[in-house]
Amino acid sequence: MTGYPFSRRTLLRAGGHAALVAALARAPALAAPKFLDDPFTLGVASGDPAPDGFVIWTRLAPKPLEPHGGMPAEAVPVGWDVAEDESFRRIVRTGVALARPELAHSVHVEVGGLGSHRRYWYRFVVDGIASDIGTVRTAPAAGATLDRLRMAVAGCQHYERGLFTAWHHISQEADLDLVYHYGDYIYEGKAAGLAAAAKAPLVRHHNSDEIYSLDDYRQRYALYKTDPDLKAAHAAAAFVSTFDDHEVENDWAGDLDAGTTPPEVFLLRRAAAMQAWYEHMPVRMTQFPYRGSPRTYRRLDFGQLVRLHVLDKRSYRSIRLCEKPGNGNCVDTRDTPDTLLGGAQERWLGEGLTPAFAWNLLGLGGLVMPFDRSAQAVPSNGYDNWTGYPDARERLIGMIGERGKNVVITGGDSHMFFIGNLPSRRGDLESPSIAPEFHGTSVSSISTNGLPIGPDPRAATNPHISMIHDQRGYLLFDVAPKTWHADLRVVDQVFTPGGRISTLARYVVEPGRPQAVKV
């Protein structure tokens, strides 16, 4: 990128910028700095589509891996357009937002007043330099009939353990309405050493030690967001984002980490991590991290077809059960009933489960189904997931049985596909299913189960689970009023560029039959 006022990319995409230039000229007492490097190195993104609009996001970072992204400590006006066509001949919304240093010069614009269930294109501009173009579709109008909704489900993207090839293929999926990202967008650990490399290949490295401060987290997000495949996926469809543990620290629970850090100290780290999460996700101001914690649980409705319940399974959970002797910030038994979602979120979920929609999708994260691990190569109780919170799971099952209609559960965390059915009775794996569960694999994070790709010996002791498969990829849902199709999309390798995509298996769910059936 040269230091000239207009880049080649700007000249190619200059149509419709007159309104932006005029708006920028009206911005009082603020002027964009002169950029000698591309200020949009982290790409653009959209999120949380509504019937009349969506969020559009970017962050100014001309030197993304340097302190503050190479930006001065001042607010910078950033222009934006939303158009009905990719060439921006029909601009329908335009404006100026401030990229503030307090928020790492990120920009979150909540665009409204648009038509329902329509595709739009958007871009940003600063100092005459245009961003890449993103595209996004608004949600259908409330109560509208809808023939089809298409979404990808993905997460667990360890930068060191594999290329983000799955994100490239998600960006190429035809006619996506949204991507549900279930968490582990970044990993907080230090650069892996020789011992880690001996266990599994490393394709690239984290560029710092383990992260603790706000600036640490910001630079880690910047490292991940410079990946071209991830940027392409964000530009291709709206993301609906939540977080899991690695956005803060492995296996954290509520106000406790997985070690021996006092809660008042850990909460400082959590607050920094949650601010950085907000700064880098295309989410609304309602997810802003007030007092150090965002309220991420929310609902998105898509006509009469689907209600998506986005849930937070980290912030409100009870203290963990100890996985093995010597664990910190855990207990061997609990004296009171456990909770994974917290009382307020549980009540909110129950109130929102309604037969007004053909399908209710629970973005729960973590494996909800019970899982007999007796044939597992690496011993584990699985207490970080719903197995460690049996009372919470029983209440969830009761809630679905009482209020749920055509409930489907999805998420991820285990770095493997787990496709099956949630038994309705505690301790009885062969009891009737209360809901099908599609637990996605990882984009690049490896499994720790020590099993090769192929048939999994643990399937023999888990009759309610149809498939356990260790391969990188994502889930693709095609939803219609009378059928829910789920494709297990897998890449053949993630260690060198060019990994190919294929469909490992396809499942279908029918209304009134809460089972995932392989077809």
**Which structure tokens are listed for 188?**
């907080």
Q: Which is more confident, 381 or 307?
A: 307
Residue 66 sits at φ, ψ, to 5 deg, of -95, 165
Q: 422-474, pLDDT tens digit by residue? A: 999 998 999 999 999 999 999 999 886 666 666 778 888 899 999 999 999 99
pLDDT tier at 26, thresholds 50, 70, 90: very low
Contacts of 292 (CB under 8 A, 6+ apart): 267, 270, 271, 274, 275
The yes-or-no verdict on residue 20 having pLDDT over 60 is no
Tokens 């505690």 label which residue? 426
Using the predicted structure, report yes or no on whether residue 5 has a pLDDT greater than 60.
Answer: no
Radius of gyration for the alpha carbons in the chain, expressed in angstroms and rounded = 23
Q: Which domains are present in the chain?
A: 8-137 (2.60.40.380), 149-518 (3.60.21.70)
The answer to whether residues 433 and 406 touch, using CB atoms and an 8 Å cutoff, is no
Coil, strand or helix: which one is 58?
strand
pLDDT confidence of residue 2: 31
Q: What is the model's pTM?
A: 0.93
Amino acid residing at 361: L
- Tell me if 266 sits within 8 A of 254, measured CB to CB: no
Q: How far is CA 394 from CA 339, 416, 480, in A?
A: 10, 24, 29
Q: What would the pLDDT profile of 93-139 be if each residue is shown by its tens digit?
A: 999 999 999 999 999 999 999 999 999 999 999 999 999 999 999 99
Reported in sequence order, the residue ranges of 128-191 that DSSP labels E, i.e. its strands, are: 129-130, 134-137, 149-154, 178-181
Tens digits of residue pLDDT in 53-67: 999 999 999 999 999
Confidence tier at 318 by pLDDT (50, 70, 90) = very high
CB atoms within 10 A of CB 208: 15
Contact 236, 171 (CB under 8 A): yes
Q: Which residues contact 215 (CB under 8 A, 6 or more apart)?
A: 67, 68
